[in-house]
Structure 1
Amino acid sequence: MIYGYIRVSTDKQTVENQRFEIKSFCKARQIEVDKWIEETISARKKLEERKFGRLMKKLKNGDIIIVSELSRLGRNLLQIMSILNDCMERNIQVLTVKEGYELGNNINSKVLAFAFGLSAEIEKNLISERTKEALARKKSEGVILGRPKGKKSDITKMKLYRHRKAISRKHEEGMTYSELSRVYKVHRITVSSFIKRLKEEEICLNRNIENQNQVIE
């Protein structure tokens, strides 16, 4: 079965250009698309959230996918390479209009895939190196990276904060961390850390009240 896949990122873009390119490509080769898959979605979305992800699951040995260009398949070179590798292993051919690639389970495709894979690895390493260099530069300029040492996160933003009174009461009544974790559907360590923070906040509050009373006296 031959599939024509078209993807645009926003509603402001049209699918007609890609459709025209694929139809012209097929006409020149005297082949016909059996089914069109169109979607308006960013390639940044997870593959399983896209129509293309569902298409990948139902493709069979010998099927063909035609796209206007490789960039329509994925968000970056690494994802595209993963898709192509999956297709080659399942004997699914990928044809691209603009680049003129014919990727299938043959030696030329595997050589091309190796070249793509090497490029992807280099790209990944370059991004990693640039990130490290940027962090090193900021550090040398005296910029404090990450959360300041010793500074705790805002307790009011913690997931269990709105249940603080009920959690404190239940824990004082003898409920264990594991039991509380099941009630609030979180890990027991999350409950343990939250209760510990509550106690710290209470101690801090009592200390401030004592200090204020001493000043008044």
Structure 2
Amino acid sequence: MAYYGYHRISTKEQHLDRGIIEIERFCESQKIKLERIFTDKITGKNFDRPRYTVLIEDVLRSGDTLIITELDRLGRNKREILKQLRILEEKGVRVMVLELPTTLIDLSQMENNLAKMMIETINSVLIEIYASLAQAEMEKKEKRQREGMEAKKLRGEWDEVGRPRAIEQEKFNQEFLRVIEKEVTPTQLQKELGLTSSTFYRYRKKFFEKFPEFNQFQK
């Protein structure tokens, strides 16, 4: 049985340090031996994240425990959050969410079945509520962004906003993982995305700058 942490942030302006420190302090206070913390700097709208994928597919085993600070570190889409929690449960992986104290209770050590059932019920309800709140916050943020851009257009300040990119960098990062996994060649992906060679390699350069652990695939 091993303990792993996972933390995600969605923008370059945020720093991973706070979440990492929170997980490390918790493990220290509980005398838990933490093997490693996996981190991603990418949107929470989906689960196509390099480090999360490695953690789920190649690292976590039945009996292991995954520690996260908040439920929305997994994502901000309720359906996907619940789907991932089910996948972890099916793998036999326990999830501890630091913002939900009842998830920190080791139910496998409880002999009172009634108490165990009550805590499981509480966990299910709290997870549903927090997943809904995370999605609502994400939708509110997107609404404010759309309204802000519309206001700039009306004020004639559209040039400050700039034209949308041909493709968002995060979307490119997700698609470029197919090249890393040898599902497609770089040329095939470039054609699929409808990018010029110069644009494709500019995005490619930013991908490797953001994820240096994949630098071996630059050759």
Q: TM-score under structure 2 normalisation? A: 0.48
Q: TM-score under structure 1 normalisation? A: 0.48
